[in-house]
Homo-oligomer: A and B are copies of this chain.
Amino acid sequence: MFEQLSILAPGLLGASLARAARQRGVASRIAVWARRPESRLKLKEASWCDAVHDTPEEACTQASLTVICTPVGRIPDLVRRIGPELPRGSLVTDVGSVKSQICREGHHALQGKAHFIGSHPMAGSEKSGMDHAREDLFERRPCFVTPLEESDSAATERVVAFWRDLDADVMTVDPEKHDEIVAHISHLPHVLASTLCSFLGLKDADWIKYGGAGLRDTTRVASGNTEMWREILQQNRAEILRALRAYQDELQAFQAALANGDDYLARHFLDRGKTYRDQL
């Protein structure tokens, strides 16, 4: 139970966690800040928050736990900005999908004052914005909590408990391991879907009308917000490149099997792929 939960930049994730926290009685008070004045006006009507502030600093002066829900590129600056206003010993986390840089910079910015412990709930949706927020968005969804070796373990425990109270399946890993994992299971699939679409976009425009359910599913993520994804690619560049190179070895081995007419080997790739997919 937190005295005050402060949510900076509530979109789909931030508004969902406010509603989930309210429903479950996780915080006595919920304060919010949104960058756009029209969002702040709308937030004043929302039953799931108690106070709407004009600046992120004001929203955090009494926060027990602050959750930053901006795109990943803005998180470190925002941590530095609120740092001086935070109550001593309070907690700050975020919901960004890349962790190494954010956790190092966040920890450094608050050192000796408050605790930055990164989080990454894997509960997005192709729909964005607080209008699509849902109390159950995090239920039984994976959520990474990514402390540094030097992070305060009691602080980590409190952040873990917060996500558990929202019924998320919490895993604690270090930020580098997190970034390696998501480079493989989230960023690489996104790169393949986006480049497949950019490639097909160069072909005869008529072909698009023959696309079936398979093509639609395979490429769905490519319709996500491209600026958000550019920031993710930028922040997780090294791990994504490593995953991409290793994946291309697999793709080229498959291509060689096909080119050589080695159907036994080609089938072996398909079978291994199916075995993995059937476990998902």
Q: A200 — nearest CB in chain B belongs to which residue?
A: B276
Q: In chain A between 9 and 38, which residues have their CB closer than 8 angstroms to a CB of chain B?
A: none
Chain B residues with CB under 8 Å of A124's CB are: 212-214
A55 within 8 Å of B by Cβ?
A: no
Asked if residues A280 and B142 are in contact (CB atoms below 8 Å), the reply is no
Please state if A247 and B196 are interface contacts (CB–CB under 8 Å): yes
A226 neighbours in B (Cβ, 8 Å): 267, 270-271, 273-274
Q: How many angstroms from the CA of A276 to the CA of B227 in the assembled complex?
A: 16
Contact of A218 among B123, B142, B218 (CB under 8 A): B218
**Assembly CA distance A247 to B226 (angstroms):** 20
With A212-B124, A217-B217 known as contacts, the answer to whether A223 contacts B274 (CB < 8 A) is yes
Tier of interface size on chain A: 35 or more
Decide: B255 and A199 in contact? CB cutoff 8 A.
no
Closest Cβ–Cβ distance, residue A220 to chain B (whole Å): 5
Tell me whether A99 is interfacial, beta carbon within 8 Å: no
The segment from A57-65, A153-161, A237-245 that touches chain B is A237-245
A184 in complex: contacting residue of B171, B193, B203, B269, CB < 8 Å? B203
* 6 interchain residue pairs of minimum CB distance: A197-B273, A201-B276, A194-B273, A226-B270, A198-B272, A199-B250
Given A184-B203, A237-B261, A240-B258; 14 other pairs, CB 8 A cutoff: A122-B212, A181-B210, A182-B210, A185-B200, A185-B207, A185-B215, A194-B269, A196-B273, A197-B272, A199-B247, A219-B276, A222-B274, A223-B277, A226-B267
